[in-house]
Structure 1
Amino acid sequence: MAKIERFEDMEIWQIAKQIAVEAYRVSDVEPIRSDFGLKDQFRRAAMSMSDNVAEGFEYNNNPDFVRFLIYAKGSSGEFRNKIIILKEALKMKEKDYSFFMRNV
């Protein structure tokens, strides 16, 4: 098995990054766009997943990497909680909700 040299080559980071990109897209339209607190929290939770994968990888040792993967998993739970609430509050389109739930 080949050694991964860069976090950008990791599938988990690529998926987490795409979730963050989609979160930015979704939060740039109403009704999330004008709810500045929600928009900020939503984006931070989405970004935190890929941030933690990247940061843990860069420490270049397994115990730290595993610890940051656990943080990323926690951020995933926070993000899922937000998208469930947004969907039930009718502030997120079904197609966006489905995308996030398939990937988080």
Structure 2
Amino acid sequence: MSYEDLDVWKRSVRLSVTLYQETGQLKDFGFRDQLTRSGLSVPSNIAEGYERGSDAEIARFLTIAKGSAGELRTQLLIGIQAGFLAPEKATQWADETNQLGRMLGALIQRHKKK
């Protein structure tokens, strides 16, 4: 199976693209840069792990992706509180990162068992 077939990869790519598209007008460049980097890190680390091939490497990079999802969720919640992000959109994105984290957790366990 290719990482491109994984729902978690597809969804994290969509979220990353959305973040780039929806936050382009943010005036706080540091916050925007950190937010988009965290979002980009999730599908990128999924891809890197699967390209390395071994279950141990896949699990390691999925763990990094899961950490990036948590980082992104935190940044989204901070963005709401700081008034940088519209609460409705950012809450939806935060919920999606939470779901992605659960999906990644299940994949990590699967690859650790092999």
Q: TM-score scaled by structure 2?
A: 0.80
Runs of at least 4 residues of structure 1 off by over 4 A? none
Structure with greater proportional helix content: 2
How far 1:22 moved relative to its partner?
Answer: 1.2
| Counterpart-to-counterpart distance in 2, 1:99 and 1:71 | 22
Q: Which residue of 2 aligns with 1:73?
A: 66
Q: Which stretches in structure 1 are left out of the alignment for 5+ residues?
A: none
Superposition CA RMSD, Å: 1.1
Q: Which stretches in structure 2 are left out of the alignment for 5+ residues?
A: 98-114
* 1:9-68 deviation per Cα after TM superposition (whole angstroms, max 9, x unaligned): 111101111110111012112xx2x22211111110100001100100101111000000
Matched, 1:24 2:20: yes
* 1:56-103 deviation per Cα after TM superposition (whole angstroms, max 9, x unaligned): 010111100000000001101110110000001111112311221221
Question: How many pairs align?
Answer: 97
Q: TM-score scaled by structure 1?
A: 0.87
DSSP 3-state at the match of 1:91? coil
